[in-house]
Amino acid sequence: MQVLHKLIRFARKSPGERAQTVRAYLGEDWDSRVFHLGNDKTAYVIGLFGSGRSYINALMVKNLGKRAKYVRDTIRLHPGPTSMIYSGHATMRYVSRAQALPAVTSGILEAVRSGFADLIFLYRHPLDSLLSNWIWWRRTKNTLDGKIPSPLDSLLSNWIWWRRTKNTLDGKIPVISDVYKNADDLCADLEQSFFEFKAFAEGDPDFFAAVPGPPFLSLPEFVEETELFLQSATLTLRLEDFMIDPLKEFSKIVEVMKVDLDLSRLRVTPPITKPYRYLAVKEKVPRFRDFINELDEETKRRIEKIGYQL
């Protein structure tokens, strides 16, 4: 009976959710065919780490109808238009851990200039992203504890990632709320671990020395990358705007992809994560407030230019 109930739940999912479930078990390469229907263009949904991209993935999988079958949580380049929707992290100027190389992004931009692809860029307040990224990388660092992961470790990590992705698709497990019960707990931990946080925010290689590979973006680099994407994307979306009117923002994706949908029938939920969480932290952690005040003038200018205050 339990198996039957699972099959019933699977059958009730949207086509995109069923495809996502199959890929969760068989891997992204289970079906390597590349489709091109009608006048579709390849769509690239790009966000820097900590942007809320998984939330957008969930909306597309649930609400894009037949086109949702072609959503892939990876980035691939093609010499012509396709119906594929690729989603991932990428950078334009700096090499960064866990994000596609600038050469890959250059290929995406060339496809956009050639007229057979669209680039949709999602972003949020850089300081909110910074806090989320610090927590995520800190947990990864502590989990590996200075060890190079074995194939078994990688398998376990992939299983955990897919489990978290499934829960994210159900609107659960935002990173900060998953770790801390409330803002006070976050602030207490940040106060106690502030020098470690500052090393992460400045891109200190020693912070990442336990895990082989390049460091993550420093905050100034993160902000610069955001500015560069905003200058180049077909469509730019702020995560905070999805918290105000998710249907309005999602309709912009539908319009760019030219998907034939009855928007009045969609039930688009906002992200669970809270906007401008950094403000509460700034209020309660003086050293975090000083860190913001001491940012270099160019970074401050860029943050204001992309539409945010400090």
pLDDT in tens, the chain (310 residues): 554 454 455 455 555 555 555 444 444 554 557 878 889 999 999 999 999 999 999 999 999 999 999 999 999 999 999 999 999 999 999 999 889 999 999 999 999 999 999 999 999 999 999 999 998 887 766 554 444 444 444 444 444 444 444 444 443 434 576 778 888 899 999 999 999 999 999 999 888 887 778 888 999 999 999 999 999 999 999 999 999 999 999 999 999 999 999 998 888 999 988 899 999 999 999 999 999 999 999 999 999 999 999 9
Amino acid symbol at 85:
I
Q: Could you tell me how many helices (H) and strands (E) the chain has, helices first? A: 15, 5
pLDDT of residue 273: 86
Query: How many C-beta atoms lie closer than 10 Å to residue 104's C-beta?
Result: 18
pTM strictly above 0.85: no
Q: Is residue 237 part of a domain?
A: yes
Q: Is residue 285 part of a domain?
A: yes
Distance CA 85, CA 62 (A): 14
pLDDT of residue 158: 45
Q: Is residue 76 part of a domain?
A: yes
Q: Is residue 15 part of a domain?
A: yes
Let me know: does 219 contact 295? Beta carbons within 8 Å.
yes
* Domain, as residue range, for 275: 2-305
Q: Is residue 223 part of a domain?
A: yes
pLDDT of residue 207: 82
If one counts the domains in the chain, the total is 1
Q: Is residue 129 part of a domain?
A: yes
Distance CA 86, CA 34 (A): 12
Distance CA 28, CA 74 (A): 8
Q: Is residue 310 part of a domain?
A: no
Spatial neighbors of 242 by CB under 8 A, at least 6 apart, are 52, 55, 249, 250, 270, 271
